[in-house]
Amino acid sequence: MQVISSKENELIKHIKKLKDKKERDISGEYLIEGVKLIKEAIQEKAKIKQIIVCDECERTETISQDLMYEIAKYDCIYVTKKIFEYITEVKTPQGILAIIEKESNEQNIDYNQEIIVALDGIQDPGNLGTILRTVDSVGLTQILVSKDTADCYNPKVVRSTMGAIFRVKVIECEDLEKTLKEIKKHKFSIVITSLQTENSIYDVEYKKDVIVIGNEANGVSEKIQNLADKKVKIPMLGKTESLNASVATGIILYEYVRQLGTGQNVSK
């Protein structure tokens, strides 16, 4: 078994470059790391191009034999512990990562879903990953992201999705305003959160809606606000004036779930 031990190896150089969005866009690839994400990728039939394993981790059985049998079906590359520590971004790595090919650039929106989530300038990778995970948890299979939203394939985002990245189609919008105008032609309404309304999130029915989540600091951009058909706010009983973007997304989406479960029509 050949084990890569040099930083000058072309594959190692490529992996290091994949930490940058520009390289991910050019190659159409991204990285995942850790036992759970590798298992999820295999289960969801993600396009795994190569799996990189720390040879020392194999000897110490850090990776289970069951998983070793599974990854043996793929193009598996072994590296020394020193090289793995060079390419990992995790403080306590499990000794396994993979190069994944992005899904096709087919960006068609599925208008059969009752709601669509759109992100307008979300910047924090942790927020973005958590939102993707929450979207997956309520059974949605797509998300719209504006051009100035953080990269969904950033390693930190991918880790925080906990596998949702394999199930939620990311539709990158060159011009979110233009995309939303097109969606409205399909009889969808645009919903935004705003303090400039008396409607709480519990006062509207979520059906054929695009829920727009705005930037952490500035909220939904003015041009998107001008497209809004419904404005809602999350009731705040304490002194806190605003919520984390991913928390707010979860609260709104689970009101949608509650309405599905009760069959309650709350339209005014």
Query: How would you label 146-185 residue by residue, b for 16+ Cβ within 10 Å and e otherwise?
Result: beebbbbbbbebbbbbbbbbbbbbbbbbeebeebbeebee
pLDDT at 107: 76
Say what percent of the chain tops pLDDT 70. Answer: 94
Tokens standing for residue 100: 């994944």
Beta bridge partners of residue 30, listed in sequence order: 100
Domain ranges across the chain: 3-101, 115-262
pLDDT at 262: 65
2 vs 100, which has greater pLDDT?
100
**CA–CA distance, 56 with 62 (Å, rounded to integer):** 9
Give the tens place of pLDDT for each residue, 122-153: 999 999 999 999 999 999 999 999 999 999 99
Q: Comparing C-alpha atoms, which of 41, 95, 92, 94 is closest to residue 70?
A: 41
Q: How far is CA 20 from the centre of its chain?
A: 17
3-101 belongs to CATH 3.10.310.50 = no
Give the tens place of pLDDT for each residue, 217-246: 888 999 999 999 999 998 888 877 777 899
pLDDT at 132: 97
Which H helix or E strand runs over 174? none
Average pLDDT over residues 30-57: 94
DSSP state of 1: -
Give the tens place of pLDDT for each residue, 11-36: 999 999 999 999 999 999 999 999 99
The count of C-alpha atoms lying within 13 angstroms of the C-alpha of 140, restricted to the half-sphere facing its C-beta, is 27
pLDDT at 151: 95
213, with CB counted inside 10 A (0-12, 13-18, 19+), is buried
Q: Which of helix, strand or coil describes residue 104?
A: coil
212 vs 262, which has greater pLDDT?
212
Given a contact cutoff of 8 angstroms between Cβ atoms, the answer to whether 136 and 127 are in contact is no
115-262 belongs to CATH 3.40.1280.10 = yes
Average pLDDT over residues 50-61: 81
**CA–CA distance, 44 with 31 (Å, rounded to integer):** 16
Give the tens place of pLDDT for each residue, 144-180: 999 999 999 999 999 999 999 999 999 999 999 999 9
pLDDT at 7: 96
What is the chain's Cα-based Rg? 21
pLDDT at 105: 63
pLDDT at 268: 40
**CA–CA distance, 233 with 202 (Å, rounded to integer):** 9
Q: Please give the mean pLDDT across all residues of the chain.
A: 91
Give the tens place of pLDDT for each residue, 68-85: 899 999 999 999 999 999
**Residue 267: pLDDT band with limits 50, 70, 90:** very low
